[in-house]
């Protein structure tokens, strides 16, 4: 093969020179050794040497590709080039060169549109506030735009350089990000989820595919905002929550109005936002998945209950609920000397299965320590009111509570199994023990974090807008938690482990509490510490 002058050679010209330069046949044996037969020169070496004409041809293809793309050729592409020129691919050289071009374009596209590369661009436009769904929409549009440009270049026999693909990615990203940021402000659908005494709840869907939950309520949402912050500290997948000011409220009302002709729920939301009936409006991310009860009512109930990811997340949630005295999730109630489990079937959302299972708590609230008015460790539920449990502070009692809640979940789930003619949810004694142990361990580790000293909890709650009486009640509650966990106890006869009733009483007497904890009561020592 004569040496090729490829200084200004296009891919098409290179294909023409190579395919027309020799008449050869290629065979490969099982060891991958290449035999080449040239009709004008006969047989020659089994292995390609540095001076072999095919080796030189491969180098010329590589040089031409490097000049076209402006980038060093990766080892993988080098192998493809050598294989193609030597005939290992079994393809004509011109098809091989097309494959090389496609491989280069794919390699460059992956480089500049990978999640890591796009994250750099998202950081650049962070002020747009793109949501996860919007970011995915941007990524899809960028990749589609680059694929279209490469297809156009391929049709013209042009190889795009690394810089060309990099620049095209940036331009496509900026255009898509701006478009999606505008869509994110455009309401496309509204569904009413709930209406009751405590408020009206709507699912609002936007043009970027994201959905949020908007709740019109009577209560100040500060306790909900504080609860979301505490759950985040507990490393729970809880939706962040934000309160609407009047401009945001009016803006959403206008957006809902714009689709009121196709949605009665949108009209109801718009009317509610403009009325004074519900003075407070909060927004949170829409939790994807199904309610805990829906999963318990399905054939996947046993798989969920025995999944360690479910158990660990449930432990964190129950610990955070006990910490903030949330009375509306799950606890045990002591009745006639026996424990009965109770849980809210709708405020845990389950998404995914197996190791990918995610538990999301909704309707979260910090409460002013109602349980400190009682002398009971476990929760209380009547038709008129309920308060949370403090059993998580005593691991041996919490195990009993978790077991009671698990039994109740199985009992309720089996009602659906019977109605649907399915086998009942059946867990072995070992599986139940694993459930209780995993939930308890997860809860205790979470409480260790939440109850650390020096977190300036009082100020954090005040910053969130929590009312002072709620902060004061929570202070009593937190002191009770510390006492029940044994802080301040020792083995001396003068300071034995105190009872539940004593702990709840002592928690409300700050001076006595500090004395019990071995702290100075005089001076600033009598103040409130969280």
| pLDDT tens, residue by residue, 407-423 | 999 999 999 999 999 99
Q: What per-residue confidence (pLDDT) applies to 291?
A: 95
Strands, sheet with 42-43, edge to edge from the N-terminal-most edge strand: 24-28, 34-38, 42-43
* Cβ-based neighbour number of residue 462 at 10 Å: 15
How far apart (Å, rounded) are the C-alpha atoms in residues 485 and 47?
A: 76
The model's pLDDT over 88-99, given as tens digits with 9 standing for 90+, comes to: 555 555 566 667
How far apart (Å, rounded) are the C-alpha atoms in residues 428 and 408?
A: 15
**Quick one: DSSP state of residue 291?**
E
Q: Which positions ≥6 away from 62 have C-beta within 8 Å?
A: 73, 77, 78, 81
| Domain residue ranges in the chain | 122-172, 187-285, 288-521
Q: What per-residue confidence (pLDDT) applies to 277?
A: 87
Q: What per-residue confidence (pLDDT) applies to 511?
A: 86
Q: Which positions ≥6 away from 283 have C-beta within 8 Å?
A: 212, 213, 214, 215, 241, 242, 244
How far apart (Å, rounded) are the C-alpha atoms in residues 526 and 523?
A: 7
Task: Give this prediction's pTM.
Answer: 0.69
Q: What per-residue confidence (pLDDT) applies to 501?
A: 80
Q: What per-residue confidence (pLDDT) applies to 253?
A: 93
Q: What per-residue confidence (pLDDT) applies to 147?
A: 93
The model's pLDDT over 317-351, given as tens digits with 9 standing for 90+, comes to: 999 999 999 989 999 999 888 999 999 999 999 99
The model's pLDDT over 349-405, given as tens digits with 9 standing for 90+, comes to: 999 999 999 999 998 989 876 666 667 789 888 777 788 899 999 999 999 999 999
Task: Write out residues in the chain with pLDDT < 50, as ranges.
Answer: 1-51, 491-495, 521-529
Assign residue 235 a region (left: φ > 0; alpha: ψ between -120 and 50; beta: otherwise): left
How far apart (Å, rounded) are the C-alpha atoms in residues 208 and 288?
A: 16
Topology given in CATH for the domain delimited by 187-285: 3.30.1010
How far apart (Å, rounded) are the C-alpha atoms in residues 47 and 32?
A: 10
Assign residue 492 a region (left: φ > 0; alpha: ψ between -120 and 50; beta: otherwise): beta
């Amino acid at each position: 093969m004569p040496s090729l002058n490829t200084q200004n050679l296009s891919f098409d010209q290179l294909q023409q020179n190579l395919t027309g330069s020799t008449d050869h046949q290629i065979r490969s044996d099982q060891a991958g050794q290449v035999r080449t037969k040239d009709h004008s020169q006969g047989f020659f070496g089994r292995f390609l040497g540095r001076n072999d004409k095919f080796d030189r041809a491969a180098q010329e293809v590589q040089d031409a590709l490097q000049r076209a793309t402006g980038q060093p050729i990766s080892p993988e592409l080098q192998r493809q080039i050598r294989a193609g020129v030597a005939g290992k691919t079994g393809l004509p050289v011109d098809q091989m060169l097309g494959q090389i071009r496609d491989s280069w374009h794919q390699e460059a596209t992956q480089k500049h549109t990978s999640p890591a590369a796009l994250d750099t661009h998202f950081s650049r436009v962070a002020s747009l506030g793109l949501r996860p769904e919007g970011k995915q929409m941007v990524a899809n549009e960028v990749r589609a735009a680059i694929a279209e440009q490469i297809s156009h270049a391929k049709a013209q026999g042009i190889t795009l350089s690394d810089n060309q693909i990099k620049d095209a990615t940036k331009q496509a990203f900026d255009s898509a990000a701006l478009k999606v940021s505008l869509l994110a402000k455009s309401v496309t659908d509204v569904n009413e989820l709930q209406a009751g005494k405590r408020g009206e709840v709507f699912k609002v869907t936007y043009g970027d595919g994201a959905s949020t939950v908007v709740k019109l309520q009577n209560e100040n949402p500060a306790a909900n905002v504080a609860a979301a912050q505490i759950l985040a500290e507990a490393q729970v997948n809880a939706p962040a929550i934000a309160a609407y000011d009047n401009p945001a409220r009016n803006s959403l009302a206008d957006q809902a109005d714009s689709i009121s002709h196709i949605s009665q729920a949108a009209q109801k939301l718009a009317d509610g936002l403009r009325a004074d009936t519900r003075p407070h409006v909060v927004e949170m991310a829409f939790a994807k998945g199904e309610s805990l009860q829906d999963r318990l009512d399905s054939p996947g109930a046993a798989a969920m209950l025995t999944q360690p990811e479910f158990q660990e997340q449930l432990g964190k949630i129950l610990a955070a609920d006990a910490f903030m005295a949330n009375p509306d999730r799950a606890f045990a109630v002591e009745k006639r000397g026996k424990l009965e489990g109770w849980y809210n079937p709708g405020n845990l959302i389950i998404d995914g299965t197996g190791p990918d299972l995610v538990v999301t708590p909704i309707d979260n609230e910090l409460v002013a320590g109602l349980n400190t008015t009682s002398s009971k460790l476990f929760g209380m539920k009547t038709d008129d009111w309920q308060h949370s449990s403090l059993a998580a502070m005593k691991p041996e009692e919490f195990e009993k509570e978790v077991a009671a809640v698990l039994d109740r979940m199985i009992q309720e789930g089996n009602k659906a199994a019977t109605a649907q003619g399915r086998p009942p949810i059946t867990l072995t004694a070992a599986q139940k023990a694993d459930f209780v142990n995993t939930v308890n361990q997860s809860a205790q580790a979470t409480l260790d974090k939440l109850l650390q000293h020096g977190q300036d909890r009082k100020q954090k709650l005040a910053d969130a807008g929590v009312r002072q009486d709620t902060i004061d009640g929570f202070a009593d509650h937190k002191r009770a938690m510390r006492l029940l966990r044994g802080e301040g106890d020792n083995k001396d006869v003068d300071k034995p482990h105190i009872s539940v009733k004593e702990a709840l009483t002592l928690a409300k007497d700050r001076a006595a509490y500090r004395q019990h904890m071995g702290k100075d009561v005089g001076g600033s020592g009598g103040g409130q510490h969280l």
